[in-house]
Amino acid sequence: DFDDDVWGVLDWGRGRWTYKNTWYWGSGSGSVDGHLFGFNIGYGFTDRTPASENVIFYDGKIHKLDDIEFCIPEDDIMKNWKFTSSDGRFEMDFQPVVDRFSDTNALIIRSKQHQVFGYFTGDAKLDDGTIIHLDRFPAFAEKVYNRY
C-alpha cells in the first residue's frame, strides 16, 4: 500500500540503439490542483520520425507534444535549465537540486550520466488549449552519453 502522495515512473523501453549516442530524458508525475498530472519528454536515442515519447498526462488522458529541446548550461549542470517545445505547449524552467552523476568507462563501453532531480516551473498546454501551470513540480531530467 502506498500513500496517495507517492508517485513513481516506470522506465520501459526497447529498440536498437546506435553504438554511440547521447540521449535526453525527463519525466515526472504527481498532482496539480487536485488533478493527476505527469509528463515524459526526451530525444536522442531513437529515430522519432514515426513517433516520439513527448506527452503530457492529465486526468488519465494523453496529450501528445511535438519535439522538446533541452537547454542545459554547458558550464554548470546545476544551473537552471530551460525546456521548450516546437509547438509551444511545454515551456518550463528547471531548478536542479541533486545531480546523480556516474561515469563508467571500460574503454569500448562507456556510460556517462547526469540524472538531475529538481523542480519544474512553467506552463503545459493540453490538446484543448487549457494551460496547466506548474510551480516547483518535483521531477527529473537527464543527459546520458553511451557507447555500447
Cell numbers for 60: 488519465
| pLDDT tens digits, one per residue of 75-110 | 999 999 999 999 999 999 999 999 999 999 999 999
Distances in Å between the Cα of 132 and the Cα atoms of 48, 85, 124, 144 are: 26, 15, 5, 29
User: According to the model, what pLDDT value does residue 1 have?
Assistant: 75
On whether the CB atoms of residues 77 and 95 are closer than 8 A, the answer is no
Beta bridge partners of 36: 31
Distances in Å between the Cα of 25 and the Cα atoms of 4, 70, 137, 144, 145 are: 25, 9, 16, 8, 12
Band of pLDDT at residue 47, cut at 50, 70 and 90: low
Beta bridge partners of 121: 93
